[in-house]
Amino acid sequence: MINNELGNTGLNVSRIGFGGIPIQRLAQSEVNKIMKHLTEQGINFIDTARAYTVSESYIGEALKDGLREKFILATKTQARTYDAMKADIETSLKNLQTDYIDLYQLHLLKTREDYDLVMSENGAYRALKEAKAAGKIGHIGVTAHNAVFLESLLDEMPFETIQFPYNLVERQAEMLFERAKAKGIGVIVMKPLAGGALDNADLSIRFILENKNVDIAIPGMDSIEQVTQNAAIGAGNLPLSESECLQADQIALELGTQFCRRCGYCLPCAAGIDIPMQFLLEGYLTRYDLNDYATTRYVNQPVDASACIKCGLCEPRCPYHLPIREMLTRVTKAFAAVL
C-alpha cells in the first residue's frame, strides 16, 4: 500500500482508507473479520460518523483487542453547538472504545450561517479545541458538499483537513483541492464511487488517485473481497490510459444527465424540500441497500420529496440541467415502495 502525508497533520495515511457507512448492515462478527483484513492489506485509516447508527460501535468492538494502535481513526458529527459537540465527542470515544480519536470532523458544513455558529463562543469548534488540548482528539477537520462555499472559507477556517465528494462524475472540487493542498490542508475524498452509482471501482479509484492533490480516498466497504480489491488499487501506480480517460469522460457524460452533484444551486425550494438530500437518501436506499438507514432519515425530514409542487423554479438554477421535478417523483415512488 502506498501511503501519503495527510496535509500538515503529520499523519501518514494509506491512500485508500476504509469508509464506515456500509457496515451498518453487517453482523459484528463480519466487521471483526474486515477490520483484521484491513491491517493485512495495509489500510490504516478508518472513517465513520455519529450519524452512521452502529458503525462507531461496531468498529470500537472490533478494534478493542490489540488492533486500535494499527489505525488512524476518524469520525464526525453534525453537532454545531458547544454542548452538543462536547457530548458527541464523549459518545464517540465510548463507542470506539478508545481514549483518543486521531481526526474529529465537523460533518456536512453547508452555509456561512452554519460556519459562524460553529465558530461562535458557544459553537462546536470551542469544544473541539478543548478536546484537542485535553488529548482526546488529535486533529480537527470538516466535511462538505458545496465546493464553492468551502473554497470561500479556506483563507480563514482553522480546519486541518477537508473531506469532499470527488469521482468520475463529481469533479467540481478540483480547484478546491489544489488550493487546500497548497495551504497544507489534508484532502480526503469521500463518495469515490458516487454513492454506488459507479460500478467500475478500479477505473474510478485510479482516476481519483491520479490527482496529486488528493491524500486519501475512502470507499465504503462491507466485505473482505472489497477490501482486497481496493487495497490492490491503492498499492499500484498504474496511470489511466488514453482509452480509459475517454471511458471516464463517457461515464461522466452518461451519468451527468440524471445525477445530482449536491452543489445546492437548486435551493431554496419553494416547498421547503432539501432537494440534494432526497437524491442522497435515494442512493443509500437503492444503491447501498441501506433500507432502514435511508427510510428513517427520509421520514424524519421536515419536508420530503413528496411535497414537490412541480413549480419548476429549481430547474433553471441547476448548472447540470437536471430534470429535478421528474427525479423527485422518482424518489417519492422509491420510498413509497418500501414504507
> Which DSSP category does 239 fall into?
P
Are the beta carbons of 30 and 54 closer than 8 angstroms?
no
Whole-angstrom Cα distance, residue 15 to residue 10? 14
Q: How far apart are CA 152 and CA 233, in angstroms?
A: 33
Strands 12-14 and 3-5 come out as antiparallel
Q: Which three cell numbers stand for residue 54?
A: 452502529
Block residue for cell numbers 486521531? 102
CA-to-CA dists, residue 102 to 10, 15, 136, angstroms: 11, 16, 8
What CA–CA distance (Å, rounded) separates 306 from 16?
38
Residues 6+ apart with CB under 8 A from 108: 78, 143, 144, 145
Enzyme catalytic residues: 52
- Positive/negative CA dihedral, 30, 35, 37, 38: positive
Q: Please tell me what DSSP assigns to residue 262.
A: -
Q: In whole angstroms, how far apart are CA 290 and each of 194, 226, 294?
A: 15, 17, 6
Q: How far is residue 183's CA from residue 83's CA, in Å, rounded to a whole number?
A: 30
Cα separation of 109 and 95, whole Å? 23
Task: Give residue for cell 494499527.
Answer: 70
Q: What is the 3-state secondary structure (H, E, C) of 264-314?
A: CCCCCCCCCCCHHHHHHHHHHHHCCCCHHHHHHHHHCCCCCHHHCCCCCCC
d(CA 271, CA 36): 47
